[in-house]
Structure 1
């Protein structure tokens, strides 16, 4: 769990660091919001493509070896980002990083599903998802400081250094994970992929994940620019905002995981979604706002988002059968990344930056995210009913076997 949490920290920080660097990158590289949106989307699209390509092979190898291979490629791609001299080079570097980094999350979730029973996965997901909060508390403020002192390349070089250490830890600490190999048939990689994408039960999960991450991909790329130019918060106060909200998210992750195991994953998902809807609707319509109020709103927004992501992720791990977990998680990650890339690109088209730097139409992004969240609540209800039916059938089969 600890190794996976630290690994997730580097992956999430690599993606999230672009958001607080957005204001600086737009200025130093002389790019438009639409071009910056494509920098974010490039990672997502390439990650989606690699997820589909890797899905057929995901269950045919030791998960530890698969994890090390893709993590090495991710580290190399991040190094290219740290050396990028211009917009075009950075765009290509993000594509390379996404080709490898986009598969790592699915491998991690497959490992969690292999090793932990359903009644513990909420707590495990909450612990691993702390990486998101830690990146807020430690990674992003440190990255902003480094970017201010030594330029926007330095945060990526920091991630490379940490990733090298994490890769060594994975190689030394993590044991081989091969139990799923005993369940494999002689099907080709293509047949395995085709079987997974044609299973009606799995399609429900793919449909839900399409909208689940819309909020992050639409709002986060422009969050720093919106905070500075629309809310009137200075660049010097940005690290404080990320740090305070990150500390709250660090607490919210494990608590949300425990509550999801105790009271039900779908129930917590609904409450987290409702909180997110209310706060996002308020946040995206703000004008000049005092720092304390921005902090309060961001804290509640991250509590809502963290709760729904932990509960939703834990619930969807119950969808695939053991022999299909790697393939399912890879395709799910691919669908999530591609839909997120489209969301980022759409956000770049909707948002317009005026000569003063202010972003217009950010409220429209908020309404789109609210609508997607409402639809996702209904889709997750269908998944929850299917998972409970699956558990009842498994319990009945086990009882018959005992008799």
Structure 2
């Protein structure tokens, strides 16, 4: 006779909490570096007299280079101490961001974004591999929730401060601020984080190319890759034009823009820990599906807005961000459970690469759809992006459902293996 009981939620150790803080801070700087392009978009387009398609190129250049870097590193991502990999790519990210802060032309900007993407685009996959190594699945939802706080914090603190700096000095100022902060975080990782080498005990004799090919040859992994790529398409398609749409279509002033991003970010900080806990207690796919439906509704409403009161724009941004971030936490927790320990680095690198490449493609497509007659004219066809995102989200729900089924199948197999291994005492 056996008794069943609900497993209590495990608390984080002091070192686990330290790792979460360091990774969240790293996430904050990398996300801010990428996200700040959107609120700076209107200023950049007017300062350099850029067309929407040119600005899309500046945004997508980071994404494409990040995707290429992920594929190049996937083969050897599991052959080194994850801490050393994180330090190496983070210092490259810092140097690339520094170049963004001293650029004076459109050509230099694109080149700087490419360099930043080559290094910064890999950091997320390394962080995910570290999380998968150090935290069991029953803790991972909360970890993802805390890591996504980096996203919310970039909006609450990073983007408003960046916009104030840009308005006071120039659009390059936010990148220089990121360089200073990231340098301090890099030193903290160097001093406080322990080596992460457990995966090296399970390594095979495959070379880097063979390890990459092995990773992409596994069917379950490929389904996870596709699900993650679908997740990024919608965000990249809308995000670059956020500030331009708010200013030129909704008549939000440049002075109101920092407040708009700050309030949306605060809502993200509130909901992320809640969604993280729910993801560890409830079915992750159910949470993802509900959040996706909510996001689709908000996308249709927001992309069809005309001039409305500023308070209404704020409320819509809050609702919009709630949907987006509530999708990311459970979906990333699910996908992180797919790879085996010895494949995690390669899996996360390929996963990040496809996510970035899909996002770069989405930004280019968005730049082809969205039109603007002059730098001060309203954006046209923005609502078309909304309808496309709804279609992509429906496909994404199905893909994440398949990932969820695979994870549940893996858990049943493990449970069955444990039952067979444990002798029965009558």
Residue deviations 1:30-89 (CA, integer Å, cap 9, x gap)? 111100000000000000000000000000000000000000000000000001011000
Q: Is the 8 A contact 1:260 1:267 kept in 2?
A: no
Greater CA drift, 288-297 or 59-68:
288-297
Alignment of 1:4-403 (within 5 A): 4-355=23-374, 356-403=376-423
- CA distance in structure 1 between the partners assigned to 2:138 and 2:204 by the alignment: 29
Deviation for aligned residue 1:209:
1.1
Residue deviations 1:5-24 (CA, integer Å, cap 9, x gap)? 00000000000000000000
Deviation for aligned residue 1:354:
2.0
- CA distance in structure 2 between the partners assigned to 1:228 and 1:373 by the alignment: 27
- CA distance in structure 2 between the partners assigned to 1:123 and 1:399 by the alignment: 28
Deviation for aligned residue 1:210:
1.5
Equivalent position SS for 1:171: helix
For structure 2, list consecutive stretches of 5 or more residues without a partner in the other structure: 1-19
Equivalent position SS for 2:307: coil
Deviation for aligned residue 1:137:
0.4
- CA distance in structure 1 between the partners assigned to 2:191 and 2:136 by the alignment: 25
Residue deviations 1:173-200 (CA, integer Å, cap 9, x gap)? 1100000000101111111000001111
- CA distance in structure 2 between the partners assigned to 1:191 and 1:391 by the alignment: 28
- CA distance in structure 2 between the partners assigned to 1:150 and 1:60 by the alignment: 44
The structure 1 segments of at least 4 consecutive aligned residues displaced by more than 6 Å after TM superposition are none
Residue deviations 1:117-167 (CA, integer Å, cap 9, x gap)? 111100000001100000000000000000001100100000000010010
**Number of residues of Structure 1 aligned to a counterpart in Structure 2:** 403
- CA distance in structure 2 between the partners assigned to 1:345 and 1:134 by the alignment: 27
Greater CA drift, 259-268 or 328-337:
259-268
Larger radius of gyration between Structure 1 and Structure 2: 2
